[in-house]
Amino acid sequence: MADDTVKRAGVIGLGAMGFGMASSLARAGFEVSGYDPAPAAQERASDAGIAPLASPEDVFATAEIIVLSLPAAAHVEAAIAAAQGAGLLAVGAAPKVIIDTSTSEAEVSRKLAAELADAGHGFLDAPVSGGPSGAAAGQLSVMLGGDEAWAGRAMPALEAMAAKILHVGPSGAGNVAKLVNNMLAASHMITTLEALRLAEAAGVGAEDALRVINSATGRSAISEIHYPNWVLPRSFDSGFSTGLMRKDVRLARELAERSGCAMPVADLVAELWAEENSGLKDADDFMHMGDPAVDRLSKKEKM
Ligand code: NAD
């Protein structure tokens, strides 16, 4: 490992993504601790050799590099506030590098990065793509926002978790890039579903249509990876929930509103993903949305 000062890593949020990232850090030689309020997540971490600690503060007290993998910006703020309350992010405290891999909000990241920089600590927004399998294999794509020097300090940990590290720009830039990407993925689920349902209605099976799409101009990661792996085999277990996808669509639209950017397609996509139209609960895997055997689109026409 390049830098002796960053060999103790802590992961807060040991869910579908955080657990895989913690395992990748451990494989790369980091001493890894973690915290999750769910007992099952703590137990799974312990079984994998990741030291489960009793609170986020304990993780900050134990590690120099802290990875957050939390549901939303409010959880990120709460974890930082807990560490601040314990004096672990004060001026003069041992410097911490915080890598926030949650799909969070640019304004929150900018505020936290500025506050923490004043106290001598680094905060990087580092949302990820690649799903639980990419997290477990250390093969994520990271969209990084923040200061170059702190990014350098975080690099050994980032390299343990990711195959691609894309430094997008200053604080918040990673969050913006991630929301723009996921808005497209949410849209591609709907447009691919529409296309396959049309193919089937007109006499061409979904598998045959998908084979053509994936050799032609209509393809996307959704058609090339998600449909063959999780939709057509009907396993619907990609590890990303419909609730998290709805969060991403909502955040992208809020960003568009603040940025004065019209997004008519995104507005319709958000309506189609809503529970009253799609029939999907937040806990359902988001792959269910693409099921060509279920009509999740025509309710919208009656609205
Ligand atoms: P998840 O629900 O599987 O895991 C989140 C974990 O956070 C849970 O184990 C939960 O118990 C824990 N948690 C909740 N409140 C907490 C708190 N206050 N302190 C510590 N832990 C807390 O979700 P996930 O799929 O792992 O997603 C995590 C983040 O990564 C989200 O922001 C999501 O949008 C993003 N993301 C997910 C995927 C994916 O494919 N699953 C891909 C890219 C990005």
- pLDDT tens per residue across span 230-269: 999 999 999 999 999 999 999 999 999 999 999 999 999 9
- Where exactly are the structural domains of the chain? 4-170, 176-299
- Is CATH 1.10.10.10 what the domain over 176-299 is classified as, yes or no? no
DSSP alpha helices (H): ranges in 214-241?
221
Pair of tokens at residue 15: 């869910």
Residue 208 has pLDDT above 80, yes or no: yes
CA angle 52, 53, 54 (to 5 degrees): 130
Global confidence as pTM: 0.95
> Mean pLDDT across the stretch 115-136?
97
Catalytic residue list contains 178: yes
- State which amino acid sits at residue 231: V
Using CA positions, which residue lies closest to atom 21 of ligand 1? 13
Instruction: Give the residue, out of 12, 14, 17, with the most ligand 1 atoms within 8 A of its beta carbon, to mutate for a pocket test.
Output: 17
**In the CATH scheme, what architecture does the domain 4-170 have?**
3-Layer(aba) Sandwich (3.40)
Torsion (CA) 272, 277, 279, 284 in degrees, nearest 10:
20
